[in-house]
């Protein structure tokens, strides 16, 4: 669960990726503030551990969260600047919608947003699927970044 670094100046262009998802009937776009209650309810249902970070992303303007939507149904999300400036994540796609390029489109949209803010690199925080970030973004692991900023973080007690 270390952090990874992505070179933002080498990002592939966003438009063809958004066109490809649109051709599948999925819109990938920045979330709107009025969508916050809907997105947070969806988070609690599907990815509860990341609800607080998505809440933080909605506290920014423009909202630092991108969503993938098909026919009014939320399929996935990707945030930036949610735990620290220049951090990418959290992100997830519903299991039923994976493998269709949505995760990559969402991440690319968020990383282009970071580049537009002036950052040269993005930090992917506390990575789970290392191979995904290596393959999709040429990300490299940051040595010694485990547990990084998450060291000693208070966690909800289970049970």
Ligand X SMILES: CC(C)(COP(=O)(O)OP(=O)(O)OC[C@H]1O[C@@H](n2cnc3c(N)ncnc32)[C@H](O)[C@@H]1OP(=O)(O)O)[C@@H](O)C(=O)NCCC(=O)NCCS
Q: Which residues make up the interface to ligand X (CB under 6 A)?
A: 89-93, 98-104, 127-129, 131-132, 135-136
- Shortest approach of ligand X to residue 100 CB, angstroms? 5
- Shortest approach of ligand X to residue 31 CB, angstroms? 16
The DSSP line for 7-46 is: EGGGPPPSHHHHHHHHHTT-EEEE--GGGHHHHHHHHHHH
Q: Which residue is nearest to ligand X (CB)?
A: 103
Whole-angstrom distance, CA of residue 36 vs CA of residue 33: 6
Measured from the CB atom, the residue of 26 and 63 that comes closer to ligand X is 26
Residue 157 phi, psi (nearest 5): -75, 140
Whole-angstrom distance, CA of residue 38 vs CA of residue 49: 16
Judge if the upstream peptide bond of residue 90 is cis by omega within 30 degrees of 0.
Answer: yes
Measured from the CB atom, the residue of 29 and 33 that comes closer to ligand X is 29
Measured from the CB atom, the residue of 91 and 145 that comes closer to ligand X is 91
Q: Please, what is the end-to-end C-alpha distance for the chain in angstroms?
A: 24
- Shortest approach of ligand X to residue 155 CB, angstroms? 17
Measured from the CB atom, the residue of 45 and 61 that comes closer to ligand X is 45
- Shortest approach of ligand X to residue 115 CB, angstroms? 19
Judge if the upstream peptide bond of residue 62 is cis by omega within 30 degrees of 0.
Answer: yes
């Amino acid at each position: 669960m270390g952090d990874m670094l992505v070179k933002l100046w080498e990002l592939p262009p966003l438009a063809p990726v958004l066109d490809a998802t649109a051709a599948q009937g999925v819109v990938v776009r920045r979330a709107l503030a009025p969508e916050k209650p809907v997105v947070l309810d969806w988070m609690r249902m599907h990815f509860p551990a990341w609800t607080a970070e998505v809440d933080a992303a909605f506290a920014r303007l423009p909202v630092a969260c991108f969503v993938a939507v098909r026919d009014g149904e939320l399929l996935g999300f990707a945030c930036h600047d949610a735990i620290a400036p220049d951090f990418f994540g959290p992100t997830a796609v519903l299991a039923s919608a994976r493998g269709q390029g949505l995760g990559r489109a969402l991440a690319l949209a968020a990383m282009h947003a970071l580049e537009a803010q002036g950052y040269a690199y993005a930090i992917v925080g506390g990575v789970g699927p290392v191979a995904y970030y290596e393959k999709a973004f040429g990300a490299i692991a940051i040595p010694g970044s485990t547990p990084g900023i998450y060291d000693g973080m208070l966690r909800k007690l289970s049970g």
